[in-house]
Amino acid sequence: MLALDTALLAWGVGGARALLHHARAVALLVLWTAGHGALALGRRPRPRDPQQRRADQRLVLATLVLVPLLTPALSARAERLGVWLLPGGAPLRWAGVALAGAGLLLRVVAMRRLGPRFSPVVEVQDRHALETGGVYAWMRHPGYAGACLSNLGAVLAFGSVATLPLVLVMALATAARVGREERTLEVAFGDEYRDWRARVGRWGPRPGTRSEG
């Protein structure tokens, strides 16, 4: 996956040599490498129960995989061609890099918290426990939030309005995925899930509530 990220980004900035001289593109690659490494080191075998597997919508899953791959490359290409560039110059673009890094960090923290319970499809595994601690004590979907923030950061890192629609596509696919996941969790965990939902918002703490964990 990282090799594909690199190849696409090199295409976006105008070749491998251009990539090496594009500081923001190199910074994004360093962040992605660190994120992939952190996930690989923390990955553990995940038990599977075919009887409880829930196949995700293929279109939604494909969108959640492909959009983050294509966004940096297309954004870099738009910057290179000078298409609809945003004002703000280097400060805005480096802020985009920082936002992409923060989103990636949030996603890594969430996925490592889940450990073998993380799955690319919506499913409840055998002896699956509802995660409500750590980052999940103040946000119900930190992994998805991190992915969306990282995608937005990739757009801002290259500063073109042309790829902002990809942020909307990612948000819509995420909303569809979240809705499906929440319905699955409510069926599986009942009152335990509803109590957690009442305390913790989808994307952050609910006003007037105190998170624990």
Q: What percent of the chain has pLDDT over 90?
A: 73
pTM > 0.85? yes
Q: Is residue 210 assigned to a domain?
A: no
> Is residue 172 in some structural domain?
yes
Are 150 and 100 in contact, with CB atoms under 8 Å apart? Answer: yes
Q: What tens digit of pLDDT does each residue of 155-179 get?
A: 999 999 999 999 999 999 999 999 9
CATH code: domain of residue 79: 1.20.120.1630
Helix axes 2-13, 58-81, angle to 10 degrees: 30
Whether residue 131 is contained in a domain is answered as yes
Instruction: Report if residue 208 sits inside a domain.
Output: no
Per-residue confidence (pLDDT) for residue 45, from 0 to 100: 53
pLDDT tens-digit map of 15-59: 999 999 999 999 999 999 999 888 877 665 554 544 444 445 688
Instruction: From 93, 95, 204, 185, select the one nearest 145 (Cα to Cα).
Output: 204
Determine contact, residues 71/151, Cβ cutoff 8 Å.
Answer: yes
Distance (Å, whole) CA 156 – CA 69: 15
Q: Is residue 205 part of a domain?
A: no
Rounded to whole angstroms, the Cα distance separating 179 from 174 reads 9
User: Contact 110/142 with Cβ under 8 angstroms?
Assistant: yes
How high is the pLDDT of residue 138? 93
According to DSSP, residue 137 is labeled G
Q: Is residue 119 over pLDDT 50?
A: yes
Q: How many domains does the chain have?
A: 1
Q: Which amino acid is at 201?
A: G
Residue 51 CB burial class (10 angstroms; 0-12, 13-18, ≥19):
exposed
Q: Is residue 70 part of a domain?
A: yes
Residue 182 located in a structural domain: yes
User: What does the pLDDT look like over 86-118, one tens digit per residue?
Assistant: 999 999 999 999 999 999 999 999 999 988 777
Range of the domain at 77: 2-44+54-199
Tell me whether residue 146 is in a domain. Answer: yes
**Residue predicted with more confidence, 211 or 170:** 170
